[in-house]
Structure 1
Amino acid sequence: MIELVIDQRRKDLGGFEVGRVLPYAKRRMVGPFVFFDHMGPVAFAPGIPRSVDVRPHPHIGLSTVTYLFAGEIMHRDSVGSEQPIRPGEVNWMTAGRGITHSERFEQARHFGGPMDGIQAWVALPEDVEEIAPSFSHFDAAALPSFDDAGVRIRLIAGQAWGSSAPVPTHSPMAYSHCVLEAGARLSVPDDYTERAVYVADGSVEIARQTFGAGRMVVLTAGVPATVLALEASTVMLLAGEPLGERFIEWNFVSSSRERIAQAKADWVAGRMKLPDLDHEEWIPLPPEPAPPNPMS
């Protein structure tokens, strides 16, 4: 029932920490999910420096999905979007052939407050890796939500439990936020080849094993699985069909190493348009080798 357990690796970003889960040496992807970070949790004091913000930076070949449990982030991008995201909402940005964006903690800078959420990247199928970039925002009320015996489920993207989210995905997948009361049970949908459960808060039991916050449990394909909450808990379910090998360098994802090399050259040469509303600074290409940017 359990194929692998991945413990988050804490990364200090110079103002707050993230827990890196994917990619992992023994498991690069779960379905189309190629990157998964838990941002925080952290309590910001008023007046945090601008250095905590994520300055404009580029992406290709993926969709980024930002989902918050607490706090607020201001998103600006090169297709003209300016959109704050708040708890329960979804920012879904498809990079395709290329996009740039920034994420700034402007609300926390003025007033202080918490920050807690998930940043994930979803790889695009090869036939749409070079589509036009786009951005979509969905309020919490626009996402399918339902309660069942002590479990509150919000479907962030894809299809599960007979429901479909309005987010414009490009491959079969499911991504959901589940809040369980102590003693509640959640049956994990088994209609996807690859599935994983990430424990964001609390403690759960899967296959008679206990898992606390910050752990991702990758489930065996085709085997039914149930999550039992040992206390009030929050879990993220991610599932989908494998897309094949993807290469990741810095913020770039592609099925082609040559395409990533071209994207790096384009960024260095200034050929990628910066956000109209945030173009005074940007993140330079890091020296080799470079891991993915912890936020997108």
Structure 2
Amino acid sequence: MIELVIDQRRKDLGGFEVGRVLPYAKRRMVGPFVFFDHMGPVDMPAGIPKTVDVRPHPHIGISTLTYLFDGEITHRDSLGVQQDIRPAEVNWMTAGSGVTHSERFERARMEGLRLEGIQAWVALPNGQEEIDPSFQHVVPGDLPTWIENGVKGRLVAGETMGMKAGVSTFSPLHYLHLELEPGARFQTPTDHSESAVYVVQGLVEIDDGRPLGHGQMAVLSKGSPSVIHALQPTTVMVLGGEPVGERFIEWNFVSSSQDRIEQAKADWRAGRMKLPDMDDQEFIPLPPDRTPPPPPMS
């Protein structure tokens, strides 16, 4: 059953808009998923200005999970990694004690393209928030897929339904990409205590009840499966996992300690966080402080 429906809120990132779903005032996290942005769909013409790019910026305390349906993004980070991200690949960057990265639209600038994807942040569990930063790029062949009864599925990250994706996660979770034909049904996993369904495009009913359409996330009640019923050709993401406890979030920083976030802000303001090796000529400045600091999320 549906516990809560969250509508995406449009956010301008300085060159294109995203639909932000998490965090939300009434539901800040789903399992360890602390942030969920739907990028696009947007047509990027050849010759787009560099101001559309996401300049170097920092993270702590999370893994970022970037997954595209269309287009290409060039990732560069302070670990020395440069990686083009393409559809059906997983870009999993673990910030831990601190990492910086940029996201550039270089192929779009040369050729033009359509961009659509999801970027999620997965909070690191207690005791692992300060691990060394790392990077994984996982190709589609390392992601389990299946086709059954009008459902084409891919396990993007985590473990569920007897499958395990080739992504090294740090807490129990599942993250599924499903393409459903009209009339197809899919029963959501119950491996983990919290879960949600997000509609990328199309229209579904959950448990033959309230319709759920483009840009909406249904947070599901704990402990029982729900059935997704496609009313038209539909793309959904099914996410969930085990809670990791309260987290503070401010700008790009996530931590169980507000003091740790203040330290990260001071480090970025003072230039103590290394910029990406191949992209160190500009960066995003720290936004002005908010007063008072935001409450922790759980």
Task: Give the TM-score normalised by the residue count of structure 2.
Answer: 0.96
Alpha-carbon distance in structure 2 between the residues aligned to 1:13 and 1:159? 32
Residue 241, structure 1, aligned to residue 242, structure 2: yes
Report percent identity of matched pairs.
66
Deviations, residues 71-112 of structure 1 (Å, cap 9, x unaligned)? 000000001100000000000000000000000000101111
Paired residues in the alignment total 292
3-state DSSP of counterpart to 1:75: strand
Q: Residue 108 of structure 2: SS of its match in structure 1? A: helix
Paired letter, 1:127: G
**How many Å apart are 1:142 and its aligned residue?**
1.5
Partner secondary structure for residue 127 of structure 2 = helix
Alpha-carbon distance, 1:4 to partner: 0.4
Report whether the alignment pairs 1:19 with 2:46. Answer: no
SS in 2 for 1:157: strand
- Aligned AA for 1:239? G
Unaligned stretches of 5+ residues in structure 1: none
> Residue in 2 aligned with 1:254?
255
> What aligned pairs does 1:1-296 form with structure 2 within 5 A after superposition?
1-207=1-207, 208-289=209-290
* Secondary structure, counterpart of 1:127 in structure 2: coil
After superposition, give the CA deviation of every residue in 1:247-281 in whole Å (9 maximum; x if it has no partner).
Answer: 00000000000000000001111111111100000
Q: Distance in 2 between matches of 1:289 and 1:52?
A: 25
Partners in 1 of 2:155 and 2:117 — Cα distance? 15
Question: Equivalents in 1 of 2:129, 2:225: separation in Å?
Answer: 33
- The answer to whether the Cα contact below 8 Å between 2:15 and 2:53 also exists between their aligned partners in 1 is no
* C-alpha separation in 1, matches of 2:193 and 2:142: 27
SS in 2 for 1:258: helix
Could you tell me how far apart the structure 2 residues matched to 1:25 and 1:105 are? 31
2:58–2:253 CA contact under 8 A, matched in 1: yes
Rounded Cα–Cα distance in structure 2 between residues aligned with 1:72 and 1:179: 20
CA distance in 2 between counterparts of 1:53 and 1:107 reads 12
Measured in 1, the distance between the counterparts of 2:279 and 2:14 equals 21
In the aligned structure 2, how far is the partner of 1:98 from the partner of 1:113?
Answer: 32
Provide the secondary structure at the position in 2 that maps to 1:274.
Answer: coil
Partners of 1:261 and 1:126 in 2: how far apart? 18
- After alignment, is 97-106 or 145-154 more displaced? 145-154
- What is the SS of the residue equivalent to 1:126? coil
Shift in Å at residue 153 of structure 1? 0.8
What is the letter of the counterpart of residue 58 of structure 2? P
SS in 2 for 1:280: coil
What is the CA–CA distance in structure 2 between the aligned matches of 1:179 and 1:29, rounded to whole Å? Answer: 25
Q: Counterparts of 1:191 and 1:132 in 2: how far apart (Å)?
A: 29
**In the TM superposition, what is the alpha-carbon distance from 1:13 to its structure 2 partner?**
2.3
Shift of residue 231, structure 1, vs aligned partner: 0.4
Letter in 2 for 1:224: P
Alpha-carbon shift at residue 15 of structure 1 (Å):
2.5
Change (3 A) 1:14 1:270: closer
**Which ranges of 4 or more aligned residues in structure 1 deviate by more than 6 Å?**
none
Q: Structure 1: how far apart are the matches of 2:139 and 2:242? A: 27
Q: What's the offset of the Cα at 1:289?
A: 2.5
